[in-house]
């Protein structure tokens, strides 16, 4: 499991041999984790509802808070039946149910984004 990397600050001092030219630089390092990306494909009959549980695993010894967002056109067929924030207790697994209700024949795309606020980890489906 990837852990978030905290911001780092480095003070760099450069000087010549006679110490007449001294330069100080402050370097600030910000690390942004790349999201885990997964592709989920659902095939079903027209007008048949499919519920797919999506797991959120917490192997750590402290509770983690996940922020769950569904990014899509409001007229599309996907929905998530949970709160905006889900707290996963230490050593537990919680599930978010992704609900697919096709209203017509076709291919539908959506983005389910789950962000672990505690360790700055992003998971996308």
Q: Kindly report the three-state secondary structure assignment for every residue of 58-113.
A: CCCCCCEEEEEEEECCCCCCEEECCCCEEEECCCCEEEEEEEECCCCCCCCCCEEE
**Tell me: the pLDDT tens digits for 23-81?**
999 988 777 677 788 887 788 888 888 888 888 888 888 888 888 888 776 667 777 76
Instruction: Give the residue among 106, 108, 109, 56 at the shortest CA–CA distance from 86.
Output: 56
71-98 mean pLDDT: 78
Q: How far apart are CA 89 and CA 60, in angstroms?
A: 9
Query: What's the pLDDT score for residue 75?
Result: 64
CA distances to 4, 64, 82, 95 from 92, in Å: 20, 10, 17, 10
Q: Which CATH class is domain 34-124?
A: mainly beta
What's the whole-model pTM score?
A: 0.62
Q: How far apart are CA 123 and CA 113, in angstroms?
A: 6
Domain range annotation of the chain:
34-124
CB neighbours of 4 closer than 8 A, spacing ≥ 6?
31, 33, 119, 120, 121
């Amino acid at each position: 499991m990837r852990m978030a990397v905290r911001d780092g600050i480095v003070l760099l001092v450069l000087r010549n041999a006679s110490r007449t030219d001294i330069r100080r630089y402050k370097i600030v390092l910000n690390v942004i984790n790349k999201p885990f990306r997964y592709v989920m494909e659902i095939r079903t009959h027209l007008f048949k509802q499919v519920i797919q549980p999506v797991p959120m695993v917490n192997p750590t010894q402290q509770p983690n808070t996940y922020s769950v967002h569904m990014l899509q056109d409001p007229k599309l067929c996907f929905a998530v039946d949970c709160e905006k924030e889900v707290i996963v207790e230490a050593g537990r697994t919680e599930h978010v149910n992704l609900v697919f209700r096709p209203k017509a024949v076709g291919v539908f795309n959506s983005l389910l984004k789950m962000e672990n606020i505690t360790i700055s980890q992003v998971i996308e489906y």
